[in-house]
Amino acid sequence: MLNYRHLYYFWMVSKEGGFARAAARLGMAVQTISAQVRELEKSLGHQLLKPLGRGIALTEAGQAAQNHAEGIFQMGKALVEAVQDTAKGRMTRLSVGLSDDLSKLAAHALLGPILDTPDLRLVCREGGFERLQVDLALHSLDLVLTGRPSPDNPNLYLISHRLVSSPVAWYGPARLIDKNTVDAFPRSLERLPILLPMGHSALRVSLDHWFHAQGLRIKVVGEFEDSALMSVFAARGLGVFPVSRLGADDLGSTPGLLLLGCCEGVNEDIYAIFSRHGRHHPLVQKLLRG
């Protein structure tokens, strides 16, 4: 069987970037850490680390081991917390992954139905789409909210469920929006500074197609991973920005924003992805029921 203590030492070396730093972090001798990692490599039958200058680097096999170790030890941490909470009879825990291509304003609105759960402990983790899928398959997450469905992968056993398809509208600060800009929408976008989600998001792809279909030549002055942060910069006067109507319900916390116009034909699709294990979580079931 895999020796998880050896795996833990390897994981610490890869995270700290070297044997000396890992040894200092763990309060152990460098020779001890090195010997344990060699034992792991021997048991797996592959070299995991290689010299690089004065330090070390991961081999391809080492990168694969590090990716899995990350999920394993995150799941171990979650296990300890879940056992402690259950033993004390005090918490209902839900671990949610928020893909970095997702509007965080919309995510907050979707989680609204479970926020009044007594003794809720909500854990939200942001990350890349692929990384979150692995965490979900390893059961360190109960649910992932994202802008696209999970691709078919028989090794992961994940299920995608579209929660909502929400129309998109444009908002901006009062100093940029008046009757003329509203009446001339969407052509008025050509003379306004534009804030957009990052290029890898599903919403950005839809917006870029919409700009092309409308024949619009726009000036982008800012790109953001986080829609909530984008709304703050817009309210401070940086530009106008798109947000789904679902996310727009949360714009009350950012005063000074006005509706410019509706982005006809553009929707933000949001999917819930979960494992066969996670689908039985009572809060996941509640979110899927809407």
Measure the CA–CA gap between 289 and 286, rounded to whole angstroms. Answer: 5
Look up residue 236 and give its two tokens.
């401070």
Geometric angle at alpha carbon 83, from 78 and 86, rounded to 5°: 120
3-class DSSP assignment, residue 99: strand
Q: Which one is the CATH code of 4-67: 1.20.120.530, 1.10.10.10, 2.60.34.10, 3.30.300.30?
A: 1.10.10.10
- CATH architecture of the domain with range 76-164+271-289: 3-Layer(aba) Sandwich (3.40)
3-class DSSP assignment, residue 155: coil
Domain boundaries, the chain: 4-67, 76-164+271-289, 165-267
Same fold, 4-67 and 76-164+271-289: no
Report the relative pairing of strands 92-99 and 49-52 from DSSP bridges.
Answer: unpaired
When computed from its CA atoms, the radius of gyration of the chain, rounded to whole angstroms, is 23
pTM above 0.95, yes or no: no
Measure the CA–CA gap between 282 and 246, rounded to whole angstroms. Answer: 23
Report the top-level CATH class of 165-267. Answer: alpha beta
272 with 288: CB under 8 angstroms? yes
169 with 158: CB under 8 angstroms? no
- End-to-end alpha carbon distance in the chain: 43
Per-residue tens of pLDDT for the chain, all 290 residues: 788 899 999 999 998 888 998 999 888 899 999 999 999 999 999 999 998 887 889 999 999 998 888 878 877 777 777 677 666 666 688 899 998 878 888 888 889 889 888 888 898 988 888 888 878 877 778 899 998 888 877 666 788 999 999 999 999 999 999 999 999 999 999 999 999 998 888 899 999 999 999 999 999 999 998 888 999 999 999 999 999 988 887 777 677 899 999 999 999 999 999 987 778 888 999 988 86
Q: Of 244, 249, 251, give the one whose Cα is nearest residue 266.
A: 244
- List helix spans (H) across the chain: 4-16, 19-26, 30-44, 60-87, 104-111, 129-137, 179-183, 202-214, 227-235, 245-248, 282-289
